[in-house]
Structure 1
Amino acid sequence: MAQYEWLLFDLDGTLSDPAEGFVNCMNHALVFHDQAPRAADELTPYIGPPLEHTIGNLTGNTSDAFVSSMVGKYRERYGDTGYAENTLYPGVNQMLETLRESKNVRLGVCTSKRADFATRILEQFNLLPFFEFVSGGDVGIGKWQQLEKLLAENTISRNTLMIGDRHFDLNAAHKNQLKSAGVLWGYGSREELQEHQPAYLFAHPQEIGRQFCRA
């Protein structure tokens, strides 16, 4: 069994489900820009990628000015209430407790979400103490660049496993010659994840705890 020094977790779709806040904030931004609000089932497949990618794919408008304005309106509501419209996935707290008690691995968060928002979400669920750091993204910064920086600054080692629910997480790891793991309770399908050859594919958080907890 491969053993890692670091387990690096994505946030949205991996530790918590942001669907309610994402849908409400995206519709807030769409309506402000004279576009029709979208149904939840139309919006939730866009959870995971950086906001600028989501906005471009969702609206077909990729101009810098439009995307910047949409991001601003999205974050306007998100900073007030949207971040709290979030649900912790069952089993995540127990999984993190198991990993902490085992003392076999170090834990961090790497999310496309801005770091201050991610930190507030983790604090909301009392999860922040489990993690040694939170790496957040921003417009124009890819997750692979976040991992690249973490490696360059020796925050993490090459013996790191990136865990996420979308192919963006897996691709970011592979671009930095890191191993990856996919989770099936988020927003990426089994087919999407398997296509990118993760080292592990987990169906429940407790499987992560069992896999990396050694006496």
Structure 2
Amino acid sequence: MNYDLILFDLDGTLTDPIQGIGRSINHALQQYGYPLQAEAEISRWIGPPLDISFRAITGSQSDAHIAELVMCYRERYGDVGYAENALYPEIPAALQALTDAGVPMGVCTSKRADFAERILKLFQLDQHFGFVSGGEIGVHKWQQIEALKAAGVASNASLMIGDRAVDITAAKRNGLHSAGVLWGHGGRAELEAESPDWLFASPTELSQLLPR
């Protein structure tokens, strides 16, 4: 079908942020005396909101302490972490094809909007997107999509694309179509368990979304 809007997740979908996120998580953990996360563990924390990740890592149930960890993370991430990022090589051409075909696109990420906008500008991707919906502490991705629908920006004829189960479940909760991507941090088993409408193995397969 032809979609009235395609929403893209950012981390693990358009770019790979593992280095910057990993170093910034460990910076915050180190400041508060927690053991550092091994590189192999970082991937699992890419996608969920930061407060949820820090709760899982530390076991803390203190909202104030979790807010401190998030603030410490963001201090480093805002300075250097956002740029410790890698663009998936085939993404620019895939987005350009969709833009050339007149497909409206936006970004819906759990990352704070200003960080997301800086990353899009860093890789010269901002030209493809009409808006960025960013997350905040206590806000889930399904709530972000709900707000976009309430504002008339998204509809049941829209598509959400992401690399984690949360992207698929957030779309389904709001009646949107969903697509999982296999080049990010979720993996096939995690995505297939949520039965997305589409499952793409590489960015070149996004050409299947071009208007017919």
TM-score if structure 1 supplies the norm length? 0.96
Residue 102 (structure 1) shift? 1.5
Q: Does 1:124 align with 2:117?
A: no
Q: Which shows bigger deviation, 159-168 or 57-66?
A: 57-66
Could you tell me which runs of 5 or more consecutive residues in structure 2 were left unpaired when the two chains were aligned: none
Aligned pairs (5 A) from 1:66-81: 66-81=65-80
Aligned AA for 2:112? R
8 Å Cα contact 2:178-2:197 kept in structure 1: yes
In structure 2, the partner of 1:161 is: 159
Cα deviation, 1:31-72, whole Å, max 9, x if unaligned, reads 000112222112222111000110111111121121111001
Residue in 1 that maps onto 2:179: 181
Q: Is the 8 A contact 2:2 2:210 kept in 1?
A: no
- Aligned counterparts of 1:89 and 1:74: Cα–Cα separation in 2: 24
Q: State how far apart, in whole Å, the 2-side matches of 1:144 and 1:35 are.
A: 31
Aligned residues of 2:6 and 2:159 also touching (Cα < 8 A): yes
- Match of 1:43? 42
Partner of 2:196: 198
Structure 2 residue identity aligned to 1:71 = V
Distance 1:61 1:40 in 2: 22
Q: CA-to-partner distance for each residue in 1:102-134, whole Å, 9 max, x for gaps?
A: 12x211000000000000000000000100000
The residue type paired with residue 213 of structure 1 is L
1:12 matched to which residue of 2? 11
In the alignment, structure 1 segments of 5+ residues that lack a partner are none
Contact 2:163–2:186 (Cα < 8 Å) also in 1: yes
Percent identity for Structure 1 against Structure 2: 50
- The CA distance in 2 between the partners of 1:70 and 1:30, in whole Å, is 7
CA distance in 1, matches of 2:155, 2:164: 22
Name the counterpart of 1:100: 99
What RMSD over aligned residues (CA atoms) do the two structures have, in Å? 1.0
Distance 1:20 1:201 in 2: 26
Deviation at 1:185, TM superposition (A): 0.4
* Structure 1 residue matching 2:179: 3-state secondary structure: strand
Separation in 1, partners of 2:129, 2:211:
19
Q: Tell me how far apart the structure 1 counterparts of residues 137 and 197 of structure 2 sit (CA, whole Å).
A: 29
Runs of 4+ in 1 over 6 A off after TM superposition: none
Is contact 1:55-1:62 (8 Å) kept?
no
Cα separation, 1, equivalents of 2:211 and 2:138: 39
Which of 195, 198, 208 in structure 2 is aligned with 1:211? 208
